[in-house]
Structure 1
Amino acid sequence: MVRILHAVNIMDRAGLETMLMNYYRHMDHNLIQFDFLTHRSQEGAYDEEIKVMGGNVYHAPRLYIQNIPKYFMYMKSFFLLHNEYQIIHSHIDAMSFFSLLAAKKNGISIRIAHSHSSKLDKDLKLPIKYFALKNIHNVATHNCACGALAGRFMFSNEKFKIINNAIDLKKFKYDKSIREEIRNHYEISDKFVIGHVGRYCYIKNQLFLLDIFAEVKKYRPESILLLIGKGPDEQQIRKKAKKLGLEDDIKLLVDRSDVNRIYQALDVFVMPSLFEGLPVVGVEAQANGIPCIVSDKISKEILLTSCIEMLSVEQQASEWASKILNCNCERNQKAEDELRAKGYDVVLEAKKLQDWYIDLDDKTKGIKQL
């Protein structure tokens, strides 16, 4: 069995974490096992499922500048204790530099950097991120990305392997009976339902989405907005909803494990992100056949089916509302076939990733023999 150590922030229900779980669930665990090196002390939403499938979850110190010496001490002890790892696959974008540098210092042969975004998140760690991004090529032996835009952002002219954000297409297929069940449960059977899935943060631009929804309500008073996720902007969203007088028309469904069922209730899916790589939720929504309207700041690689359109985030909320109001809300019946043809069926894609890991592991054995 080959054990792969995945470096992440925390295994919560977010895009890259959900992508990893999609692949993990469809691996042959007699051949491949995933373990997770997180950078948070608290447990993640997926931790229990990981352990049930035979994986381990470890907690490294957070990557703050004052923690760097402590971090490298931890990683040295970690790799001394865990000599089963010869492959580390890091998913913390530019900050992967530090996990991969620690792995290099401790003799890990295969060090994979994986880009999931197209920009650096602007926070207090931004100067460190610029440094890390510039130097990641010195520590990674292999480069991966969710798409070409994300790959070019992190690796410039270097080669990279695209690993599609594949999903279980059957799980997200449109089901009229589930649609009726969910809409009855939330008492929205007679409503025009706009939906959005994403972490509550400025990147996802939910505050602008509230302005769009306010414009929609002028013409379709029976409209409801469902927001599925969690994050630091939750209170700001609630506050703005109240200010707009829409608190009774906006439902925040926090940290749901049944997002595949919630999609069934939607009439339109809207995603006005300020930047993205190739979001998993965009693939999920298309798999359900929902008409999707997404930001032009998302990689055009998200245009996978015939039910998705792009709109500039520079346009007014009223223009987004007009596009939503004029949507053809019928489900795309060809969505499953379209996505499978483009490499987004995780049942097929997991086998490819599994074979790649096994091939990499064989190479590490060859390196040791030399």
Structure 2
Amino acid sequence: MLRVLQVVTCMDRGGLETMLMNYYRHIDRTRVQFDFLTHRAREGAYDKEIYSLGGKIFTVPRQNPFSPAYRHALHKFFSAHPAYTVVHAHLDCLSGVVLGCAKQHGVPVRIAHAHTTNQMRDFKYPIKDLYKRIIPRTATDLLACGEDAGRWMFGSAPFLVLPIAIDTEKFRFDKNMREDMRRTLGITKEELLIGHVGQFRKEKNQTFLLDVLHSLRACGTKSKLLFVGDGEKRAAVQNRAAALGLTPYVLFLGVREDVPALLHAMDVFCMPSLYEGMPLAVLEAQAAGLPCLVSNGVPKDCLQTPRARQLPLSAPPSKWAEVILAESKVLSAAPPVLQSFDICENARMLTAYYLQKDAQRRRETAHGSADRVYADV
């Protein structure tokens, strides 16, 4: 059995982590098993499930590319675990740090995975931009969640797009589930429920949705806003809701395991992000048959159904409110089809990818031709 080391920050319920778990549940675990190297000492939301599926979880200190202690911890880990022949890093711009260490320890397959199309322009940006450039020199293979993410992260280096796969059956619309969840949430039939699923981070731009809700209610529309997720900016969004007098109309549900039922309860799904890679939540919302309104910071290839559309963030909240109201009144026709994102076929592809790369790199290492970047699968 091939054990693949997935390198992440922490296995919480973010889009990247949920995508990994979707694949983990459906890969052929008699042939490929996942283990995880995390950068947080605390327990992640998916840790118990990982153990139940046969995976192992290891921890190193918080990622700091300038820290001798961090680099020492990486070297110590790879020295103690020489059996890993495939390392798959999901640390975006800083993936090269871990992969560079893996390279020094002779790991033959080192995969960097791009999950974003930008980074916040804060004081860390120059550092991340610098380390982003070393990725093609430390990785043997490059993957991306979409074309935009791959080009932004890897430049002209060749890469392969690995679809963000979901269990489409899990999100198939269920009228009874919708009615039960709306009753549980206290949402009446007359109320319009706007929904958003995502971590509270600056780039997610959730405060914009409060301005949209304010516009809807100002024109007399009975409406509420539902947030699913948690994060460092949650308190700021709650404070903004209070300042606008919207607290009674905004539901902060935190991290939830019943996302399919919550999606069914919504009337429209919105994502006004400044930038995204390939947001899992938008695909899940489309699989649930929801009309989706996203910003131009969300890649167009994420829009897979006729009921998904973009609006620029330059459009005022009142325009977003107008489109939301119009979309909520359109009855869904046929159930959505997202075959290219279905987990079963994509999990088979990923299993074959890992096994092929492992065999390929073993042959190349034996012939002394390792450390070239490949995208020929």
Query: For residue 304 of structure 2, what is the amino acid of its counterpart?
Result: L
Q: Offset of 1:261 from its aligned partner?
A: 1.1
Distance in 2 separating the partners of 1:312 and 1:86: 44
Aligned to 1:347: 344
Secondary structure in 2 matching 1:98? helix
Aligned to 2:289: 289
Aligned to 1:331: 332
Aligned to 1:358: 355
Distance in 2 separating the partners of 1:35 and 1:127: 31
Q: Offset of 1:332 from its aligned partner?
A: 4.9
Aligned to 2:270: 270
Q: Offset of 1:189 from its aligned partner?
A: 2.9
Aligned to 1:236: 236
- After TM superposition, the structure 1 = structure 2 runs for residues 194-343 of structure 1, keeping only pairs within 5 Å, are 194-327=194-327, 328-335=329-336, 337=337, 339-340=338-339, 343=340
In 1, are the aligned partners of 2:108 and 2:362 still within 8 Å (CA)? no
Distance in 1 separating the partners of 2:248 and 2:75: 52
In 1, are the aligned partners of 2:65 and 2:71 still within 8 Å (CA)? no
Aligned to 1:75: 74
Aligned to 1:118: 117
Query: For residue 236 of structure 2, what is the amino acid of its counterpart?
Result: Q
> Does residue 173 of structure 2 align to residue 174 of structure 1?
yes
Secondary structure in 2 matching 1:144? strand
Q: 1:8-40 deviations in whole A, cap 9, x for unaligned?
A: 111110111111000000011111101111111
> Residues 12 and 329 from structure 1, CA distance in 2 versus in 1: closer, same or farther, beyond 3 angstroms?
farther
Q: Offset of 1:331 from its aligned partner?
A: 3.2
Shifted more, 119-128 versus 185-194: the winner is 119-128
In 1, are the aligned partners of 2:65 and 2:97 still within 8 Å (CA)? no
Distance in 2 separating the partners of 1:36 and 1:261: 29
Aligned to 1:28: 28
Q: Offset of 1:64 from its aligned partner?
A: 2.3
Q: Offset of 1:329 from its aligned partner?
A: 4.1
In 2, are the aligned partners of 1:288 and 1:331 still within 8 Å (CA)? no
Query: For residue 344 of structure 2, what is the amino acid of its counterpart?
Result: V
TM-score calculated relative to the size of structure 1: 0.96
Secondary structure in 2 matching 1:314? coil
Q: Offset of 1:61 from its aligned partner?
A: 1.3
Q: Offset of 1:124 from its aligned partner?
A: 3.8
Secondary structure in 2 matching 1:305? coil
> Residues 15 and 303 from structure 1, CA distance in 2 versus in 1: closer, same or farther, beyond 3 angstroms?
same
Aligned to 1:193: 193
> Residues 330 and 84 from structure 1, CA distance in 2 versus in 1: closer, same or farther, beyond 3 angstroms?
farther
- After TM superposition, the structure 1 = structure 2 runs for residues 33-44 of structure 1, keeping only pairs within 5 Å, are 33-44=33-44
Q: Offset of 1:227 from its aligned partner?
A: 0.5
In 2, are the aligned partners of 1:290 and 1:329 still within 8 Å (CA)? no
In 2, are the aligned partners of 1:291 and 1:330 still within 8 Å (CA)? no
- After TM superposition, the structure 1 = structure 2 runs for residues 81-100 of structure 1, keeping only pairs within 5 Å, are 81-100=80-99
In 2, are the aligned partners of 1:307 and 1:332 still within 8 Å (CA)? no
> Does residue 182 of structure 2 align to residue 183 of structure 1?
yes
Distance in 2 separating the partners of 1:119 and 1:366: 36
> Residues 49 and 79 from structure 1, CA distance in 2 versus in 1: closer, same or farther, beyond 3 angstroms?
same
TM-score calculated relative to the size of structure 2: 0.94
RMSD over aligned Cα atoms = 1.3
Distance in 2 separating the partners of 1:86 and 1:99: 14
Shifted more, 316-325 versus 214-223: the winner is 214-223
Q: Which runs of 5+ in 1 are unaligned?
A: none
Distance in 2 separating the partners of 1:300 and 1:134: 26
Among the aligned pairs, what percent are the same residue? Answer: 40
Query: For residue 108 of structure 2, what is the amino acid of its counterpart?
Result: S
Distance in 2 separating the partners of 1:248 and 1:325: 20
Secondary structure in 2 matching 1:16? helix
Query: For residue 5 of structure 1, what is the amino acid of its counterpart?
Result: L
In 2, are the aligned partners of 1:289 and 1:332 still within 8 Å (CA)? no
In 2, are the aligned partners of 1:290 and 1:332 still within 8 Å (CA)? no
> Residues 72 and 66 from structure 1, CA distance in 2 versus in 1: closer, same or farther, beyond 3 angstroms?
closer
Distance in 2 separating the partners of 1:152 and 1:141: 17
Secondary structure in 1 matching 2:187? coil
In 2, are the aligned partners of 1:196 and 1:226 still within 8 Å (CA)? yes
Distance in 2 separating the partners of 1:60 and 1:81: 13
Secondary structure in 2 matching 1:350? helix
In 1, are the aligned partners of 2:263 and 2:288 still within 8 Å (CA)? yes
